């Protein structure tokens, strides 16, 4: 191995030592008797292996990678404590996880914009979780109010809408007290995002504690949902709920079962609406002019909507 290659290998070994804190020694292969091209090939092989080792170590031990492991819980307690110490991160602090999801693949501008808008890298960490999802771990110096959490989520959304011109949904978790609670917070934010997208598609920000009935229905198995629909409607694949019918039902429920208000909103004659409601009763057995039946049908619509997303 020539001098240049030997210098290169030493440089790589030094880099390994710097990033891992461990000393490495390598017995370089004897290249005596090899042709120049063979010696060059051997040196290139060694350098390639060292590069792979360095990038693999960086991949699993970079700040971003460790944050990701803290968030996903893919880390042992002793390693969590060790890495927290290494990055000077206190174990106890008030942190919430905000989960940002873009409709299209996130380009680098999203991260750039967020990092410039929230430059406090000590208290705010941006962790890409997938091509369309990013977790933001936000450390609060004081206990944040519900309004503060909500407005932070809105701030992120409005910022990305106006500056990056991307479609985005944001959910957030409750405030945690310890670093080892981050996986729970991440799951909570993930649940809020998934439930929100299915049950409240007209919203853009989903708080962990405003999931309503969606929280109950989300996670039910297809079998349970089918059984419920069979119990109520006699079938688990009702073809009766066409968009127009669902619109009439939603309108009637939104207007507190008030015929006059619903007819005004639907620009429909009173008799037409009553006829439609009777048709719904004929098909479903539910008279939604009665509170109990209205509530049942609302739940049925939730379940049907959920099953579409299973």
Partner 1 sequence: MATLSLKGIQKVYPNGYHAVTDFNLEIADKEFIIFVGPSGCGKSTTLRMIAGLEDISDGEFRIDGKLMNNIEPKDRDIAMVFQNYALYPHMTVYDNMAFSLKLRKVPKDEIDKKVREAAKILDLDKLLDRKPNALSGGQRQRVAMGRAIVRNPKVFLMDEPLSNLDAKLRVQMRIEISKLHQNLGATIIYVTHDQTEAMTLGTRIVVMKDGIMQQVDTPQNLYDKPCNLFVAGFIGSPQMNFMDAQVKVSGNDVTLKVGHSEMKVPDSKKQALIDGNYNGKTVILGIRPEDIYEADDAGAPVGLNINSKIKFYELLGAEVYLYFDMEGTQMTARVSSSTKLKSGMDAKFTLDMEKIHLFDKETEVTITN
Binding site for partner 1 (CB under 8 A): 104, 109, 112-113, 116-119, 151, 154-155, 157-159, 161-163, 165-167, 198-199, 201-202, 241, 243, 246-247, 249-251, 260, 264-265, 301, 305, 308
Q: 13 with 50: CB under 8 angstroms?
A: yes
Nearer to partner 1, 121 or 209 (CB): 121
* Encoded tokens for 1: 């191995």
Give dist(CA 52, CA 215) in Å, integer: 45
Q: CB 241: neighbour CB atoms within 10 A?
A: 18
| 242: phi then psi, degrees, rounded to nearest 5 | -75, 155
Handedness of CA 95, 99, 105, 109 (dihedral sign): negative
The nearest distance, CB 157 to partner 1, in angstroms, is 8
Bridge partners (DSSP) of residue 96 are: 138
Q: What is the DSSP string of 106-154?
A: P-HHHHHHHHHHS--TTTEEEEE-SSSEEEEEEEESSPPPHHHHHHHHH
Output 90 or 201, the one with its CB closest to partner 1.
201
Minimum CB separation from partner 1 for residue 190, in Å?
Answer: 20
Q: Which is nearer to partner 1, 198 or 274 (CB)?
A: 198
Total Cβ atoms within 10 A of residue 249:
23
Shortest distance, CB of residue 208 to partner 1, whole angstroms? 20
By DSSP bridging, strand 205-207 and strand 168-172 are parallel
Check residue 179 and report its DSSP letter. G
């Amino acid at each position: 191995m020539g001098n240049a290659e030997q210098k290169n290998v030493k440089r790589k070994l030094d880099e390994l030592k710097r990033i891992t804190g461990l000393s490495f020694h390598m017995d370089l292969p004897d290249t005596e008797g090899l042709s120049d091209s063979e010696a060059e090939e051997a040196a290139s092989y060694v350098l390639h292996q060292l590069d792979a080792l360095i990038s693999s170590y960086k991949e699993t031990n970079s700040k971003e990678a460790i944050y990701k492991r803290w968030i996903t819980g893919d880390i042992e307690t002793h390693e969590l404590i060790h890495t927290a110490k290494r990055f000077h991160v206190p174990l106890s602090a008030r942190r919430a996880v905000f989960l940002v999801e873009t409709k299209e693949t996130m380009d680098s501008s999203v991260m750039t914009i967020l990092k410039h808008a929230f430059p406090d890298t000590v208290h705010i960490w941006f962790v890409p979780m997938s091509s369309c999802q990013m977790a933001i771990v936000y450390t609060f110096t004081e206990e944040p109010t519900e309004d503060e959490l909500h407005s932070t989520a809105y701030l992120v959304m409005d910022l990305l809408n106006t500056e990056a011109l991307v479609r985005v949904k944001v959910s957030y978790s409750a405030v945690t007290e310890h670093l080892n609670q981050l996986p729970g917070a991440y799951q909570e934010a993930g649940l809020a995002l998934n439930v929100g997208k299915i049950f409240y598609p007209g919203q853009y920000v989903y708080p962990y504690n405003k999931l309503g009935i969606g929280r109950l229905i989300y996670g039910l198995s297809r079998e349970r949902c089918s059984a419920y629909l069979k119990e109520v409607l006699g079938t688990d694949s009702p073809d009766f709920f066409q968009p127009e019918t669902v619109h009439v039902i939603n309108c009637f429920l939104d207007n507190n079962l008030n015929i006059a208000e619903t007819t005004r909103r639907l620009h429909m004659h009173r008799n037409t609406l009553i006829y439609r409601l009777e048709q719904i009763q004929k098909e479903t057995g539910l008279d939604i002019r009665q509170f109990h039946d209205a509530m049942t049908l609302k739940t049925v619509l939730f379940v049907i909507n959920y099953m579409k997303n299973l």
